[in-house]
């Protein structure tokens, strides 16, 4: 028998999520049944959207229940397999949650499916540029946003996991100009030096609206928004006629106690004849193969820089989640909880 | 020489537009120059979007200047023509403003163009179902909204000029269900009895959200919004997955002193994977011929009921404009200021 440390949801957050909304529990975990496998998690991944899963409302996935292990994407190693498709030692990725070990059934499925991580890449890459994060940026930019060569492109949350990949895809695919919005000088420097941006706007120290007017005198053709709130409002006033806005997320909104006011400038959608689209990655899983091939090639060729903020230790799980909302992370927020054998 | 009564913009409204923001002035009007014509206005048309033209902000048309005649669509009769394409007695439509007479140059052009009104239809119809109003509903529903047979359709401001045509186009084109939102029992009865709606929701006496949940258990495929504000918010919570929202206008917002909060529920755009589009009629003028043919046929066949609220007397011009914002009108708000010769 193996002891399994788990972080379970203790209370639903009211406003900003707190570490105390989760509790650490250890319990024994048995061996895998027929067709199952026992996996040891190596890395946990953190995404802003996980905050939404804590609210008791109908959404695109059911909320995490009180007392349940917090849902999260992970990369792990197979300890014991009774499934013909997997062997002990395999590196796998799935949604195995905030825990050290999990019993997985190995069957494909929207949330529960396990995929093998190819040899030769750092396992955590399938949680960032080569995983859901990269796919979100890829489909958001290319399928939803219909990026065209010569577009002027704005990305918010651009030093975050998805935004940084989105900005670089715009660059790779021939955008005329790519500008990222991020918080702080270090992130802004990274955007220009490492992530292919022509310019970066520091929302913490600059007037975003004024900078947008300066950077985009003819307006933004495609805005990829991860943030919402005031940044979305400023962008709406600087869109080009018939511009497109891809709403990927709205991290500025997720921890508000009451639903905050929406974009005040939404009538610009009419005045500027905009198209605003939302999307959820799960709708694009059937097209993932081509995207993974492209993303892998770009990483291999050095065209797509990936960044990860890797914290350590299962005891730091909720604390690491909170880094997303203070904007502490540059790139994908990960937590390493074990080394592979 | 002819005396010309004009309503000019006196002060920019701050919040709700008032009659006193306009002043009545009479001055002599000369005869037409070479290539010009003198037109006597018969009907003035009123649209919510005109409120936006009073604000000193950059938009899709320049604001009306202080001291200028208020811009408006009109139908008039040619008094004297020095343009080869028009003769005295012709009924014409154009943007000749809040005045009894105007000198027009007869050349085609986005805002200034004059079109002849075909004989055999009431002249004011080119200001309502067979004019910009009908075209707005037509392109909004079919081109922007991409209405498909079997769609469930919701229209706000449905007893207004554009909304009432939009709802009927949805019915004509095979929507599975059409529901209109309007204020008051009389308008709601008219929507069901005369305008092809399966049901109507009275926002003044009913809980819009609750009614929407009841009328659309599987969600709204296409929402045509003229209103914005709380009605848009309620609709966002009741959209079907991958639903489309056409933002035609936002009458609830136009008279606010400060830009009101935007749609609180805008993250539903992500959760429900919505597409939200704005549009302005002038982008579709090049396709107007087919639309006019269809609208004319539907009116002729009795499939498209049109409604007009026709007030009388040039002295009542600003008062008539204000009827839009109190929701007094059912159908197109018009003012008759003269009879044709």
* Residue pLDDT, tens place only, B236-295: 999 999 999 999 988 888 888 777 788 999 999 999 999 999 999 989 988 988 998 999
pLDDT at A172: 98
How many angstroms separate the CA atoms of A171 and A196, rounded? 6
Residue A136 has φ and ψ, to the nearest 5°, of: -60, -45
Query: What pLDDT score was predicted for residue A284?
Result: 93
The Cα A129–Cα A195 span in angstroms is 13
Angle between helices B161-172 and B288-300 (to 10 degrees): 80
Using the predicted structure, report yes or no on whether residue B141 has a pLDDT greater than 70.
yes
Same domain for A119 and A221, yes or no, is no
Confidence of residue B118 (pLDDT cuts 50, 70, 90): confident
- Chain-chain contact of A264 with B266 (C-beta, under 8 angstroms): no
In a domain, A182, yes or no: yes
Residues A120 and A137 in one domain: no
| Beta-carbon separation of A272 and B278 below 8 A | yes
For residues A88 and A113, membership in a common domain is answered with yes
Residues A237 and A152 placed together within one structural domain of the fold: yes
Using a CB–CB cutoff of 8 Å, tell me whether B280 touches chain A: yes
Structural domain boundaries, residue A248: 132-282
Determine, for residues A277 and B278 on separate chains, whether the beta-carbon distance falls below 8 Å: no
Q: Mutating which of A217, A231, A247, A282 best tests the B interface, going by the most B Cβ atoms within 10 A?
A: A247
- Shared domain for B121 and B144, answered yes or no, is no
Last residue of a domain, one of B282, B298, B323: B282
Q: Judge whether residue B109 has pLDDT over 70.
A: no
Q: Give the pair of three-digit tokens for residue A49.
A: 């959207």
Over residues A212-262, the pLDDT tens digits come to: 999 999 999 999 999 999 999 999 999 999 999 999 988 888 888 777 788
Residue A105 confidence class, pLDDT cut points 50, 70, 90: confident
Calculate how close chain A gets to B127, using CA atoms only, in Å.
22
Residues A67 and A149 in one domain: no
Helix (H) or strand (E) segment spanning residue B92: strand B91-94
Cα separation of A304 and A180, whole Å?
Answer: 15
Q: Say if B168 falls within a structural domain.
A: yes
DSSP character for B141?
A: I
Task: Please report which helix (H) or strand (E) contains residue B168, including its range.
Answer: helix B161-172
Mean pLDDT of all residues in B17-42 = 95
Q: Looking up tokens 């007094």, which residue turns up?
A: B328
Cβ <8 Å between B272 and A278: yes
Residue-wise pLDDT tens digits, B73-102? 999 999 999 998 899 999 999 999 999 999
Given pLDDT bands bounded at 50, 70 and 90, which one contains residue A120?
confident
Confidence at residue A300, expressed as pLDDT on a 0 to 100 scale: 92
Q: Is there a contact between B272 and A273 (Cβ–Cβ < 8 Å)? A: no
Tell me which residue of B128, B139, B82, B72 sits closest to B105, measured CA to CA: B82
Residue A101's CATH number:
3.90.180.10
Q: Across residues A43-49, what is the average pLDDT?
A: 95
Residues A325 and A261 occupy one common structural domain = no
> Quick check: A107 pLDDT over 80?
no
Q: Percent of chain A at pLDDT above 90?
A: 81
Convert the pLDDT of each residue in B199-229 to its tens digit.
999 999 999 999 999 999 999 999 999 999 9
Q: Which of B244, B255, B278 to mutate to test the interface with A (most CBs of A within 10 A)?
A: B278
* A249, A262, A283: residue with CB nearest B262: A262
- Please check whether residue A225 lies inside any domain of the structure: yes
- Across the A:B interface, residue pairs with CB atoms under 8 Å apart total 98
Q: How close, in Å, is residue B271 to chain A by CA atoms? A: 6
Confidence of residue A1 (pLDDT cuts 50, 70, 90): confident
The rounded distance, in Å, linking the Cα atoms of A113 and B216 is 33
Is pLDDT above 70 for A169? yes
**Which range has the worst mean pLDDT, A135-144, B59-68, B212-221, B310-319?**
B59-68
Task: For residue B325, give the nearest of B39, B28, B46 by alpha carbon.
Answer: B46
- If pLDDT is split at 50, 70 and 90, which confidence band does B117 have? confident
Of A264, A275, A280, the CB nearest to B262: A264
Is the predicted pLDDT of residue A111 greater than 50, yes or no?
no
Is B296 part of a structural domain of the chain? no
Is residue B291, in this structure, part of any structural domain at all? no
The H or E element containing residue B291 is: helix B288-300
pLDDT of residue B251: 81
pLDDT band with cut points at 50, 70 and 90 for residue A339: very high
- Are B143 and B268 contained in the same domain? yes
- Is A298 within the bounds of a domain? no
Per-residue pLDDT, averaged over A145-153, amounts to: 98
Tell me the three state secondary structure of residue B276: strand
Q: Does A235 touch chain B (CB under 8 A)?
A: no
- The whole-angstrom distance between B189's CA and the closest CA on chain A is 30
pLDDT recorded at residue B110: 39
pLDDT of res. A110: 39
* A272 lies within 8 A of chain B by CB: yes
Residue B106: what pLDDT?
66
Full 3-state SS string of chain A: CEEEEEEEECCCCCCCCCHHHEEEEEEEECCCCCCCEEEEEEEEEECCHHHHCCCCCCCCCCCCCCCCECCCCEEEEEEEECCCCCCCCCEEEECCCCECEEEECCCCCCCCCCEECCCCCCHHHHHCCCCHHHHHHHHHHHHHCCCCCCCEEEECCCCEHHHHHHHHHHHHCCCCEEEEEECCHHHHHHHHHHCCCCEEEECCCCCHHHHHHHHCCCCEEEEEECCCHHHHHHHHCCEEEEEEEEECCCCCCCCCCCCCCECCCCCHHHHCCCEEEECCHHHHHHHHHHHHHHHHHHHHCCCCCCCEEEEECHHHHHHHHHHHHHCCCCEEEEEECCCCC
Mean pLDDT of chain A: 93
- CA-based nearest residue in chain B for residue A225: B270
Residues of B in contact with A280 (CB under 8 A): 270-271, 273
Q: Å from B236 to nearest chain A CA?
A: 12
User: Which chain B residues are Cβ-neighbours of A59 within 8 angstroms?
Assistant: 271
**Token pair in block for residue B157:** 């401001």
Q: Are residues B237 and B198 in the same domain?
A: yes
Which is nearest to A306 in space by CA: A194, A155, A179? A194
Residues B195 and B276 in one domain: yes
Q: Which residue of B has its CA nearest to A263?
A: B262
Q: Is B272 on the interface with A (CB under 8 A)?
A: yes
Domain count of the fold of chain A: 2
Residue of A nearest to B145 (CA): A275
Mean pLDDT of A299-317: 96
**Does a structural domain hold residue A153?**
yes
A224 shares its domain with A277 = yes
> A197 and A241 in one domain?
yes
- Residues linked to residue A199 through DSSP beta bridges, in sequence order: A179
CATH number at residue B158: 3.40.50.720
pLDDT given for residue A306 in this prediction = 92
Beta bridge partners of A7: A24
Q: Has residue B300 been placed in a domain?
A: no
């Amino acid at each position: 028998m193996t002891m399994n440390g788990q972080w379970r949801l203790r209370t639903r957050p009211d406003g900003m999520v707190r570490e105390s909304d989760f509790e650490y529990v250890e319990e024994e975990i048995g061996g895998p049944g027929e067709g199952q496998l026992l996996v040891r998690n190596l890395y946990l991944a953190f995404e802003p959207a996980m905050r939404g899963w804590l609210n008791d409302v109908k959404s695109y996935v059911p909320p995490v229940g009180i007392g349940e292990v917090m849902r999260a994407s992970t990369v792990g190693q197979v300890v014991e397999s009774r499934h013909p498709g997997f062997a002990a030692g395999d590196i796998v990725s799935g949604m195995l949650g905030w825990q050290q070990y999990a019993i997985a059934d190995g069957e494909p499925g929207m949330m529960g499916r396990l995929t093998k991580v190819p040899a030769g890449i750092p396992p955590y890459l399938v949680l960032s540029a080569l995983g859901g994060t990269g796919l979100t940026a890829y489909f958001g930019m290319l399928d939803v946003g219909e990026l065209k060569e010569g577009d002027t492109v704005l990305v918010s949350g651009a030093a975050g996991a998805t935004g940084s990949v989105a900005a670089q895809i715009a660059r790779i695919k021939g955008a005329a100009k790519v500008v990222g919005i991020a918080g702080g000088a270090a992130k802004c420097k990274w955007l220009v030096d490492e992530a292919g941006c022509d310019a970066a706007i520091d929302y913490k120290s600059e007037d975003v609206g004024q900078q947008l007017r300066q950077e985009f005198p003819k307006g933004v053709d495609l805005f990829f928004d991860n943030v919402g709130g005031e940044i979305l409002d400023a962008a709406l006033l600087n869109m080009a006629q018939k511009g497109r806005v891809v709403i990927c997320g709205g991290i500025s909104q997720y921890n508000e106690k009451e639903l905050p006011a929406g974009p005040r400038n939404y009538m610009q959608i009419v005045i500027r004849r905009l198209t605003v689209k939302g999307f959820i990655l799960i709708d694009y899983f059937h097209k993932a193969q081509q995207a993974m091939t492209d993303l892998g090639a770009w990483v291999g060729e050095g065209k797509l820089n990936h960044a990860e903020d890797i914290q350590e230790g299962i005891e730091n799980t909720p604390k690491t989640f909170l880094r997303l909302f203070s904007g502490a992370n540059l790139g994908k927020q990960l937590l390493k909880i074990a080394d592979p054998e």
